[in-house]
């Protein structure tokens, strides 16, 4: 898979946002990594040091009233985004091509606003 985005930089963008997410009442699970070099089925790891050839990084957030957001970024430049606000508002959010860690950070911020109603400026 082509390396379009640096996943270590993307994980750093997640780490930068954790304190603000926590202050806003969100719970962020540990970042998960998938190793392309691992045997199938590849199991996500929470320790970067256990991953030799990362091909994805993911973050799972929980908010008030059981709202959830799961974002997985692949080094090829695409992201899978699943969410649940409530029983009537759940699904997948289409994501544009992600070409940098900064673009991933902006995507995260937009998803946080959409799912949890928290503007990044509020944090």
Q: What is the pLDDT of residues 84-119, one digit of tens each?
A: 999 999 999 999 999 999 999 999 999 999 999 988
Q: Is the pLDDT score of 120 beyond 80? A: no
Q: Is 11 helix (H, G, I), strand (E, B) or coil?
A: helix
Predicted TM-score (pTM) of this structure: 0.93
39 Ramachandran zone, left/alpha/beta (phi>0; psi -120 to 50): beta
The pLDDT of residue 1 is 65
Measured CA angle at 16 (ends 6, 105), to 5 deg: 50
Element containing residue 108 per DSSP (H, E): helix 101-116
Mean pLDDT calculated for residue range 35-50? 94
Element containing residue 54 per DSSP (H, E): strand 54-62
Mean pLDDT calculated for residue range 24-35? 97
What's the farthest any 2 CA atoms get from each other in the chain? 43
Average pLDDT, the chain: 94
The pLDDT of residue 65 is 87
CA distances from 107 to 5, 81, 114 (A): 13, 10, 11
Which residue matches tokens 């954790």? Answer: 18
Mean pLDDT calculated for residue range 39-63? 95
pLDDT grade for 123, boundaries at 50, 70 and 90: very low
Q: Is the pLDDT score of 121 beyond 70? A: no
């Amino acid at each position: 898979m082509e390396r379009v985005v640096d996943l270590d930089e993307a994980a750093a963008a997640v780490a930068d946002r954790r304190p603000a997410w926590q202050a806003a009442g969100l719970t962020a699970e540990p970042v998960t990594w998938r190793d392309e070099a691992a045997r199938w089925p590849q199991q996500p790891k929470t320790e970067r040091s256990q991953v030799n050839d990362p091909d994805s990084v993911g973050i799972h957030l929980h908010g008030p009233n059981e709202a959830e957001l799961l974002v997985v970024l692949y080094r090829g430049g695409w992201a899978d985004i699943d969410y649940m606000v409530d029983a009537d508002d759940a699904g997948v959010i289409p994501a544009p091509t992600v070409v940098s860690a900064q673009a991933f950070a902006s995507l995260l911020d937009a998803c946080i606003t959409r799912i949890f109603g928290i503007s990044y400026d509020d944090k």
